[in-house]
Structure formats: C-alpha cells, structure tokens
C-alpha cells in the first residue's frame, strides 16, 4: 500500500484505504503500478470535504472572472505537462502516442474554453407581464460526481470537470479502474493552479464500490457519467431513488453511410479512420458501414486495403497508427464477439485475430477486422463492440438505408458521404443520432453540443450548455 499511488481528497494525498487497483500496460502485459482505491469510507470523506468546499464563502463569493482565471491556470499546467499526461494515458490504455498527446492538448483547450464561457456567459431578463422585473439566474448544484471511462480519459475528464467547476460546483472525479493516473495528475494541477482544496477531489476505485457509493450518497447532487449503456442504466436507477438529475453519455453503434455519388476515396479514408483510430475504442466509432449496392465491392476493397496497411506497433513506436486494446479481458471479449459472428456465417474479409508479430505477442492486440455478409439484425451489427471491428452492409435506396441505420437501440452519431446536398439534408434529419457528419467524420469541437439519442444517453455536454448542465435555474421577481 505504501507504494500505491494515493488518491486526492481536499489537499491530502491518501493511500491507506486498504484497497488497491493494479495498473497493467496493455501493450506489453507488464505491471505499471498500484493505485490506492476508494472504499465507502473515502467516498464519505470526499463528499464531506467537497460539500464544505462548495459552501465556503470564499468559493461562493468568487466572481466568474476569478474562477475563469483559475481554470486558465489549469489549462496552462496541462499544456506544459502534455507529454507527462500523454505518457500516463498511453501506459494505462495503450493508445498511440500521437493520439494521447493530442488528447492532452485537447484537455487543456477544454479548460481554456470553459474559462472563457465562465466569464462571458450572461443571465437573462424574462418578459414582464406586470408591474415587476423578472429574471432567471443559474446556480450550482453543490457537489457533482464525475464518472469517466478509460478510452479517452483526459478529454472526458476535462469535459466534465472544467464546466462543473466553472459553474461553481465542487467535483468528485472517479476515473475508470484502468486509467486512474491522468485524473490524479489533473487533481494535482488543479491544486497547483490555486483552486481551493476540495473543489476537485479524485477518487480512483471500482464502479461497483466507489462509483456506486458516490451515486447513492445523499450529499452528491448531480452525476455526470460517461461509459457503457448498462452502467448508465444502473446509475439512472440509483439516481431515480434520490430524484437526482444525471447526464449520461453512453455507448453507440454508429452508421457510416456511403452513397454511390460520393467521393469514394475520401469516404474510404474516413470510414477506415472512423473505425480503426484508437483501435476502435471510441464511442462514435463508425462501426456499421452502409454502402450503396453499386459501389459496395469497390468501397469494401478500399477499406480492406487500408486496414491491411495500418502500422500496428507499440504505442510509442515512431509512426505507430494502431495500438493494443485497453485490456486483456477487453481483447478477449472482442475476439469472442468476432468468433460468434463467424459461426453465424459472417465473412471475415480481413483481421479476425491477433497480429503475427513477435514483438507484440505480450500485448492485448487485435487486428483491424472487417466483416461482411451479415444482416443488420445479426448480433454483431446490434451490439457495441468497442473494438476495431467494422460490419459492412449494402443498401439500395434512402428508405432501405434509413430503415437499417435506425434499427438500433443506440443513437450516438452517424456519417454520410454524398455529393447531393439535398440527399445529405434529408438523411441527416432522419437519422436518429445526436451528431451527424456530412462528408467528414469524427470532427469534434468543444463548442458544439454532444450527446446521444435513444440508449446512447441523456443530456448534452460541451458548448455553453455544457456549463449550464451543472447549474439549476432560479427565477427572481422584483416588484
């Protein structure tokens, strides 16, 4: 325990909870370190600390431009330490260096954005219907729990912590079991930037113990969760008991659509990146490819060629494009799903196993995989895999496409490739998804709202609304 990385409550670093998480490097199988895990006792302590910090007169009286300055300070520190943040993430979830570094810089930019929103967002006077002045103001909930996944921990954490603090709350951040360290370093940066102790607390720990205790704690007034749909359902059920609002960013099975009139080369490149970047471990991965029948074979051949050409390597190897999956159990789960699809008649056009390179044999690698020949109703086309597996399906016309693409419990994102803007408009409006890209894919901006339809989530993060997510409205009447 003495060597385990400590958790952060207030300004104390604590490593005597009696529980630990073991961090494993998925690229090699080597043990990274142990991290002290929160139990119910640390959750109780963190909530008490956060409540005191949130209600302190110094915090409550701090003006928006002053909070903004602190958030800018966090942004500066993340940027200055981008390499350190990136290398922690790379060791824990195995993403390639280029992506880890880009995500560290993106986390810094998110803090900078919410600093700007914090000091520029305005309140509104509402139309008076009598001899009074009425206005609506926004107030923080108090203590917010932020619960995050392992695939893009830095950006997801920045996306919750920055707006929640900008909104005037204290935050308890519970990172994924797999990626504790970037969150702990974020806590360190927040303290160093001058945020009052207790405004950001970081509790590594399991979802079943620490996560569940946080969600159920009466002192937590809002939960912002990103993760799988099943976990989201459990959190929503626990929140219903307390009548507590939640924001849920959940799973996806996003359709990526190529019409016959599209710029096929550009579409093929985007479809390939859209599924294989991050080894497919992206909530918006375009994992179902719908291709208009007349160009089906050409598009499929192009994607297979790109999949085979990807540079699969250790995450820190120069030029590496494709790393391991984030854990060995996750790799085995992906392999089992592909094996089942094969048994059900799926045609594995490329991939479907581990890379044949000796130097990668100790890691949780799985080849970029393309499967054809199954209907959209097949299990593999309906289930979120969260790995580098693309299902390719033909369609005949817009009606056929919409019927198939919308036949999913998920509704996170979608992409359309066509030269016909009328078709793009019609299809974009009819696809059941929180984000639709036209002739581009996976463009994401902190200033544009993000979230899911159907079982992909509740609520929207990002944008100015991403700050309002962490506030409640109060209406005032002055006679």
Q: Which active-site residues does the annotation give?
A: 160, 249, 283, 461
426 binds ligand NAD (CB under 6 A): no
| From 87, 89, 151, 279, residue interacting with ligand NAD (rule: CB under 6 A) | 151
The residue count for the chain: 479
User: In this structure, are strands 435-438 and 413-417 parallel, antiparallel, or unpaired?
Assistant: parallel
Residue position matching structure tokens 């702990």: 184
Residue from 226, 225, 170 nearest 8 by CA: 170
Whichever of 177 and 432 has its CB closer to ligand NAD, that residue is 177
- C-beta separation of 105 from 220 below 8 A: no
* The CA-based dihedral angle spanning residues 107, 190, 245, 212, taken in that order and rounded to the nearest 10 degrees: 100
- By the rule CB under 6 A, 333 interacts with ligand NAD: no
Residue 238 or 260 with smaller CB distance to ligand NAD: 238
Which residue in 42, 313, 384, 432 binds ligand NAD (CB under 6 A)?
384
Which residue in the set 99, 185, 212, 313 belongs to the binding site for ligand NAD (CB under 6 A)?
212
Close Cβ partners of 237 (under 8 Å, ≥ 6 residues apart): none
Q: Which is nearer to ligand NAD, 52 or 383 (CB)?
A: 383
25 part of the interface to ligand NAD, by CB under 6 A: no
Minimum distance from residue 452 beta carbon to ligand NAD (Å)? 6
250 lies in the binding site for ligand NAD (CB under 6 A): yes
Which C-beta is closer to ligand NAD: that of 44 or that of 350? 44
Q: Which residues 278-297 are close enough to bind ligand NAD by CB under 6 A?
A: 283
Q: Which residues contact 9 (CB under 8 A, 6 or more apart)?
A: 42, 45, 46, 49, 198, 201, 203
| Minimum CB distance to ligand NAD smaller for 192 or for 230 | 230
Question: How far apart (Å, rounded) are the C-alpha atoms in residues 236 and 248?
Answer: 8
Does the protein bind ligand NAD through residue 168 (CB under 6 A)? no
Among 73, 211, 255, 368, binds ligand NAD (CB under 6 A): 211
Our CA angle for 243, 245, 247, nearest 5°, is 145
CA–CA gap between residue 416 and residue 428 (Å, rounded): 8
Of 94, 182, 196, 207, the one binding ligand NAD (CB under 6 A) is 207
> CB of residue 264 vs ligand NAD: minimum separation in angstroms?
28
Determine, following the binding rule CB under 6 A, whether residue 181 of this chain makes contact with ligand NAD: no
Which residue, among 316, 333, 390, 247, has the nearest Cα to 94 in the 3D structure? 316
Query: End-to-end distance of the chain based on CA atoms, in angstroms?
Result: 61
Q: Please tell me the count of residues contacting ligand NAD according to CB under 6 A.
A: 29
Q: Does 251 bind ligand NAD (CB under 6 A)?
A: yes
For the record, the structure tokens of 449 come out as: 């709202």
Among 64, 142, 219, 228, binds ligand NAD (CB under 6 A): 228
Q: Shortest distance, CB of residue 281 to ligand NAD, whole angstroms?
A: 7
Q: How many helices (H) and strands (E) does the chain have?
A: 16, 22
Q: Residue 233 contacts by C-beta under 8 Å, 6 or more apart in sequence?
A: none
Stretch that binds ligand NAD, among 30-38, 94-102, 206-214, 439-447 (CB under 6 A): 206-214
- Strand, helix or coil at 321? coil
Minimum gap (Å) between residue 304 Cβ and ligand NAD: 25
Contact residues for ligand NAD (CB under 6 A)? 147-151, 174, 176-177, 206-207, 211-212, 215, 226-228, 231, 234-235, 249-252, 283, 384, 386, 412, 452, 457
């Amino acid at each position: 325990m003495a060597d385990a990385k400590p958790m952060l409550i207030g300004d104390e670093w604590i490593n005597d909870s009696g529980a630990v998480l073991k961090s494993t490097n998925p690229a090699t199988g080597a043990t990274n370190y142990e991290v002290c895990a929160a139990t119910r006792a640390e959750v109780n302590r963190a909530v008490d600390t956060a409540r005191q910090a949130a209600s302190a007169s110094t915090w409550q009286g701090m003006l928006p431009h002053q909070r903004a300055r602190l958030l800018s300070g966090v942004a500066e520190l993340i940027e200055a330490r981008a390499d350190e943040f990136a290398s922690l993430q790379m060791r824990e979830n195995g993403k390639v260096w280029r992506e880890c570094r880009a995500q560290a810089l993106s986390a810094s930019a998110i803090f900078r954005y919410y600093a700007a929103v914090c000091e520029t967002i305005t309140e509104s006077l509402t139309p008076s219907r009598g001899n009074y002045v009425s206005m609506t103001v926004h107030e923080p909930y108090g203590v917010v729990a932020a619960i995050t996944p392992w695939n893009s921990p830095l950006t997801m954490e920045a996306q919750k912590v920055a707006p929640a603090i900008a909104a005037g709350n204290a935050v308890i951040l519970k990172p994924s079991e797999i990626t504790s360290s970037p969150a702990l370093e974020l806590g360190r940066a927040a303290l160093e930037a001058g945020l009052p102790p207790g405004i950001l607390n970081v509790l590594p720990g399991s979802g079943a113990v620490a996560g569940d205790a946080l969600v159920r704690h009466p002192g937590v007034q809002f939960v912002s969760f990103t993760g799988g749909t099943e976990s989201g359902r459990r959190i929503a059920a626990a929140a219903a008991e307390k009548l507590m609002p939640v924001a849920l960013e959940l799973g996806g099975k996003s359709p990526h659509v190529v019409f016959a009139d599209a710029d096929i080369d550009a579409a093929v490149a985007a479809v390939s990146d859209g599924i294989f970047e991050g080894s497919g471990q992206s909530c918006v991965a375009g994992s179902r490819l719908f291709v208009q029948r007349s160009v089906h074979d050409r598009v499929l051949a192009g994607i297979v060629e790109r999949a085979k050409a990807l540079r699969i390597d250790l995450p820190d190897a120069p030029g590496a494009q494709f790393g391991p999956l984030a854990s060995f159990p996750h790799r085995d789960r992906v392999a089992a799903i592909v094996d089942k699809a094969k048994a059900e008649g799926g045609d594995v056009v490329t991939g479907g196993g581990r890379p044949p390179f000796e130097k990668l044999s100790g890691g949780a690698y799985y080849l970029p995989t393309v499967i054809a020949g199954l209907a959209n109703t097949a299990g593999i086309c309906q289930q979120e895999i969260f790995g580098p597996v693309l299902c390719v399906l033909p369609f005949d016309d817009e009606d056929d496409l919409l019927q198939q693409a919308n036949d999913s419990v998920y509704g996170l994102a979608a992409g359309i490739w066509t030269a016909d803007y009328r078709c793009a408009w019609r299809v974009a409006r009819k696809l059941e998804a929180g984000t639709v890209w036209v002739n581009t894919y996976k463009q994401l901006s902190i200033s544009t709202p993000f979230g899911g339809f159907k079982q992909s989530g509740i609520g929207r993060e990002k944008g100015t609304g991403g700050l309002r997510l962490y506030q409640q409205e109060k209406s005032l009447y002055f006679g």
